[in-house]
Structure 1
Amino acid sequence: MPTTQTSTAETPIAETPTTEISGATASGRPAAGGRAERIRRLLSDALAPETLTVRDESHRHVGHGGWREGGETHYEVIVVSKAFESLGRVERHRRINALLAPEFTAGLHALALTALTPEEAGKRAP
């Protein structure tokens, strides 16, 4: 069953409604909800991941470029999806960045991305 993860807790993606957030409002501003949740929903809707981890790592970048008070500027995102099977690493990252364009416009500064196929993820498992 597909899972989504915040910090270390896993929640099935199926439990997350996918119709509540479109990613951006008509004004181009991100839709309501915390940034991690919006990222999770955008990627879940577009990529149907088997696993998805979204971690706010802003606290590790205090004082660095792009950091803002309140965080939500730097994230680690790990996506395992069959949607990546025909794509190389650069194209996978481009696709994720394009999906998250409204978030970058609204203050998301950096992503640490890992984008794998299920087969690749299986080879990395301990």
Structure 2
Amino acid sequence: MVHEAIEAKLSDYFEPAHLEVINESYMHNVPEGSESHFKVIIVSEKFAGQRLIGRHRQVNQVLADELANHIHALSIHTYTIDEWNKQNQVAPDSPMCLGGSK
């Protein structure tokens, strides 16, 4: 449910050429089936000419309700189409959680 809300809001706002919303909660010390830790990869021309901090602020603004009420952690990877192609259409892997009992 949280996953779908994130995907819908980011799609509507950024009109991405590529969007991945990955639930990484399983990598953390949370109950099975949790939707609390996410990684988003967004490729949009709306990021052209923007610094990384501005891109992340936009994503945080779009997901303000989810961040305030549902999401514990959000890994954000933002690219223009050219940047995404230069990355060979791959975003970095997230590290495993080192906190809690894991």
Task: Please give the TM-score of this superposition, normalised by the length of structure 2.
Answer: 0.81
2:46 to 83, 86, 94: 83
**1:49 partner amino acid:** P
Query: CA contact under 8 A between 2:26 and 2:32: conserved in structure 1?
Result: no
Alpha-carbon distance in structure 1 between the residues aligned to 2:61 and 2:31: 22
2:14 corresponds to 1:51: no
Stretches (4+) displaced over 3 A: 67-70
Matched with 1:110 is 73
How many residues were matched structurally? 89
Residue segments in structure 2 that go unaligned for 5+ positions in a row? 90-102
Residue segments in structure 1 that go unaligned for 5+ positions in a row? 1-33
Structure 1 residues 9-28: aligned runs within 5 Å: none
Alpha-carbon distance in structure 2 between the residues aligned to 1:91 and 1:109: 21
Alpha-carbon distance in structure 1 between the residues aligned to 2:84 and 2:41: 10
Q: Which SS does the other structure have where 1:72 is aligned?
A: coil
2:7 corresponds to 1:40: yes
Identity %: 37
The structure with the greater share of residues assigned to helix is 2
RMSD of the TM alignment (CA)? 1.4
Q: Write the deviation string for residues 82-119 of structure 1: whole angstroms up to 9, x where unpaired.
A: 00002111110010011001101222111111000001
Matched with 1:97 is 60
Deviation for aligned residue 1:68: 5.6
